Amino acid sequence: MNVAVMKTKAEQAISEGFEAVAEALPGGAGVRTARKAALGRFGALGLPHRRIEEWKYTDLKSALKDVARPAVGDATPVTIADVIVALGPFARLELPRLVLVNGGYRKDLSNLDGVEGYEVKPLAAALAEAPDTVGEGLAEVAGQDQDAVIALNTAFMTDGALVRLKSGVVVQRPLLVVHIRAGKEPCSAAIRNIVHVADKAHARLIELYVSVPGSTAEGQVNVLTEIILDAGAELDHVKCASDTGRSTHLASLVLEMAADAVYRGFQMTEGVGLGRNQGFVTFKGEGGKLDLSGVLLGRGSEHVDTTLVIDHVAGACESRELFKGVLDGEARGVFQGKVIVRPDAQKTDGKQMAQALMLSEAAEFDSKPELEIHADDVVCGHGSTSAELDEDLLFYFRSRGIPKDEARALMIESFVGEAIDHVEDESVREALMSVARGWVAPGRG
């Protein structure tokens, strides 16, 4: 006997929304086929819910009550001045930038001067130029075809950044990829970024997800960043989602690392009503090194989830993960980190740590670190802690004439600073610290 599964209002809206915009989405026949297949997978999977182990703390089926209209062909007016305000402390860096507004490339707001060494194109334009070459593989993202959020991204993606570095190229300046939410009416945007760093090349990339002041508080973003690092390639990658309302931010990172590749990544999320950063990392060659850190800042009823799967397929690789959360009000933070060591991955060195600072008794932090080890010559470990501000240390600051609010801010900044310090570029590090200071004490950033 077949049992019909009732679709939620959001799931119904997703199917109806696709039919309305399918013909306007970029890509040739192959991409259109991939989109329909992805929507079919989503129809079979549905929105993730708490009975799915990887989503047990973030029940998207219950949380996502409705879906905003897909942003296709959006023409919301945004000026250079708006971009500078939205960038906040990152505007001081004066970096080459590719700007998307509500999921669509905006040439008038972008500035790709000084991108020597990079090949940078908007994804939609690349699909128009070479639909078969660029579109190949968009449907199969490193084996993640059973992830509903990734399936939705494949179905609805409108644009993004296509970034390539040729063999041996070493760039000195980071490239800024900026997605801006804008407009008075809520919309949903699906963005796909593709990054390929050839052997022994070294790239620097910053992804920013921000909103224009005065925009609706309830936009929705689904972004997928695919990264392939060839043998000996290096990538310094910073992703920061800094919003001002009740927005939904679903981000997926799929990273494949060849032999001796190095990835240094950092993620920051603040001001997002419902956020999930999920990462899937695969070591495909020996000698790879991963350093992934992050900060999540939540207050009110915000919910921020970080879920990672680090898959050591090849041996003699090193992985490090350090994540810090600061939670106030009734905010909820989640960290799930799973490290898999395959039978042939001898000499693996993997460690992860998640720590939360609780500013309120009503805040909640759920942490689930996991080790799945199938090899015997490994060094692996994990840990997780949560605590309140140290009252003795707070008293020490106040006894030296430092006001209570300033003392609290200094202690919080010191706590998150340990993760931010993993960012090697000093100017980028200072911009991130400024975002954190602005969250701790508005106006200080």
CA end-to-end distance (rounded Å), the chain: 60
How crowded is residue 400: how many other Cβ atoms within 10 Å of its Cβ? 8
Hey, CA dihedral for 36, 50, 226, 245, is it positive or negative?
positive
According to the model, what pLDDT value does residue 116 have?
83
Cα 251 to its chain centre, rounded Å, is 4
Query: Tens of pLDDT along 215-245?
Result: 998 899 999 999 999 999 999 999 999 998 7
According to the model, what pLDDT value does residue 141 have?
64
Phi and psi at residue 45, to the nearest 5°:
-85, -40
CA–CA–CA angle 435, 438, 439 (5° rounding): 90
How crowded is residue 388: how many other Cβ atoms within 10 Å of its Cβ? 11
pLDDT at 108 over 70: yes
Pair type for strands 161-165 and 118-122: antiparallel
pLDDT over 90 for what percent of the chain? 83
Adjacent-strand bridge partners of 251: 223, 277
Least confident of 6-10, 48-52, 413-417: 6-10
Task: List Cβ neighbours of 315 (8 Å cut-off, separation of 6 or more).
Answer: 286, 344, 345, 346, 347, 348, 375
Confidence of residue 4 (pLDDT cuts 50, 70, 90): very low
Average pLDDT of the segment spanning 112-117: 84
According to the model, what pLDDT value does residue 426 have?
96
pTM, entire model: 0.95
Question: What is the distance between the alpha carbons of residues 215 and 178, in angstroms, rounded to a whole number?
Answer: 16
143 or 437, greater pLDDT: 437
According to the model, what pLDDT value does residue 438 have?
94
According to the model, what pLDDT value does residue 28 have?
87
Question: What is the distance between the alpha carbons of residues 285 and 300, in angstroms, rounded to a whole number?
Answer: 44
Contact 313, 284 (CB under 8 A): yes
Confidence of residue 75 (pLDDT cuts 50, 70, 90): confident
Query: Tens of pLDDT along 282-339?
Result: 999 999 999 999 999 999 999 999 999 999 999 999 999 999 999 999 999 999 999 9
According to the model, what pLDDT value does residue 115 have?
82
Average pLDDT of the segment spanning 408-433: 96
> Cβ-count burial of 88 within 10 angstroms (0-12 exposed, 13-18 middle, 19+ buried)?
middle
pLDDT at 249 over 80: yes
Confidence of residue 345 (pLDDT cuts 50, 70, 90): very high
Average pLDDT of the segment spanning 81-85: 96
3-state secondary structure of 251: strand
432 or 75, greater pLDDT: 432
Average pLDDT of the segment spanning 206-219: 93
Adjacent-strand bridge partners of 326: 297, 357
Query: Tens of pLDDT along 23-48?
Result: 999 988 888 988 999 999 999 999 99
Contact 409, 437 (CB under 8 A): yes
Average pLDDT of the segment spanning 179-192: 94
pLDDT at 2 over 50: no
According to the model, what pLDDT value does residue 441 have?
83
Pair type for strands 248-257 and 274-283: parallel
Mean pLDDT score across all residues of the chain: 93
According to the model, what pLDDT value does residue 445 have?
61
Query: Tens of pLDDT along 348-391?
Result: 999 999 999 999 999 999 999 999 999 999 999 999 999 999 99
User: The tokens of 254 are what?
Assistant: 């799929």
User: The tokens of 207 are what?
Assistant: 């992804």
pLDDT at 60 over 70: yes
Query: Tens of pLDDT along 143-185?
Result: 566 899 999 999 999 999 999 999 999 998 999 999 999 999 9
According to the model, what pLDDT value does residue 96 have?
94
Question: What is the distance between the alpha carbons of residues 178 and 102, in angstroms, rounded to a whole number?
Answer: 11
How crowded is residue 79: how many other Cβ atoms within 10 Å of its Cβ? 11
User: The tokens of 185 are what?
Assistant: 């009416």
